[in-house]
Amino acid sequence: MSHQANDPLISLLHNLPGMAYRCRHDAQRMLLFASQGSTELLGCAPEALVGNQAVAFGDLIYPKDRPIVFSEIDAAVAEQRPYRCIYRIVIRNGHQRWVLDKGKPVYQTEDGWVLDGFVTDHTRRMTAFRQLEQRLAEQARKAEKLVVMEERNRLARELHDSVTQSLYSVTLFAEAGRNLARSGQLAQATRYFDDVLETGQQALKEMRLLVHKLRPSALEKGGLVKALQNRLNAVEGRAGVKNQLALEGDIHLPADVEEAIYNVIQEALNNAIKHANASEVGVALRQENDTLALTIWDNGGGFDPVLADESGGLGLISMRERVHMIGGTFDIVSIPGQGTTIEVRLSGDSVPQPASQ
């Protein structure tokens, strides 16, 4: 690529929206050329970027996105193929911006490979996608409210048919026992009081069963950690997928938070096996005081988060919504061919500290 000012191709590149670039394949992606679009896109003039004069382009990439971006480019260079990455950059005013970076290795020098590429602003599309997610999430909330109402009606019927009848029987037995006791027939009164005890215990059992129906059975038996280990052993382990569960701190969560976290992890693991063909997955849970950090990752095929909804079955909206409903944040980084990482963070009232015994 000639850098002469009168080169028609260079003039064209300078007038395109976005930034055309040529860079070395190194840790900082040192630019050898940057078009004028860098000023609007990154908040940096080309002369500030070329040769890392004022800032390195790699340093503008959002820190959490760098490893997976660099990994994708490394793989593209090794396989001599084009690369396509969607990631966040931190522009000079401190704001974040989503970008689409498409390029390929073009030739090799003594210092290594040289890459040609083009970076465009992807923020509007990501914003539109998130707005669509929010609208769908709102519809999901309304649908969930209807499901909750139906569940409440079902439980009300069960309460009426079983527990309520038992409690009504308790009052009848208690009243009969009291009347007999007042008349001095204590032996007969005792039999009624035995009936009160037996019927009350049965009602308590039925009430507990109704409450347990509201939680996944895997969580009923041993809580979140045991349920996760059972899931990894029963599904990933039997499928020959290498898996690991890393724990840090005393994982102690309310039932509704456990259920939401379990469902998010289960959905992510299902995606890794069904859609990403992963050979390795990992789940890490860390709780420190009133903060919970969850990371789910896989080494599968990855995907474009913007286009994921078109493929169907990934459940990103439901996962994000479950996390938001318990007051958490949901972040996902995925690049085709380079796996997926999901991070969930909860703090404050969503993660109460264990009560003292």
Domain ranges of the chain: 8-121, 127-212, 219-350
| pLDDT given for residue 2 in this prediction | 43
Q: For the structural domain made of 219-350, what CATH number should be given?
A: 3.30.565.10
Instruction: Give, as one character, the DSSP assignment of residue 277.
Output: -
Task: Chunk the chain into consecutive blocks of 10 residues (it has 357) and report each block's average pLDDT, rounded to whole numbers.
Answer: 58 84 89 92 91 90 91 94 93 84 93 93 88 85 77 70 78 87 87 84 63 58 87 83 93 88 90 85 92 94 74 73 91 89 85 51
What local confidence, expressed as pLDDT, does residue 141 receive?
A: 80
pLDDT of residue 312: 53
- pLDDT recorded at residue 330: 93
CATH class, range 127-212: mainly alpha
> 8-121 — its CATH code?
3.30.450.20
Element (H, E) at 68: helix 66-79
C-alpha–C-alpha distance, residues 347 and 350, integer Å: 6
∠ CA 88-260-295 to the nearest 5 degrees? 40
Phi, psi angle pair for 37, to nearest 5°:
-65, -15
Q: What is the β-pairing status of strands 112-121 and 19-24?
A: antiparallel
Residues 6+ apart with CB under 8 A from 257: 292, 326, 346, 350, 351
In this structure, the strands spanning 96-109 and 83-90 are antiparallel
Token pair belonging to 209:
């069963």
CA distances 128 to 39, 124, 254, 310, Å, are 24, 6, 34, 14
What are the pLDDT digits (tens) for 253-294?
Answer: 888 899 899 989 988 988 888 778 889 999 999 998 889 999
Residue with tokens 């670039």: 21
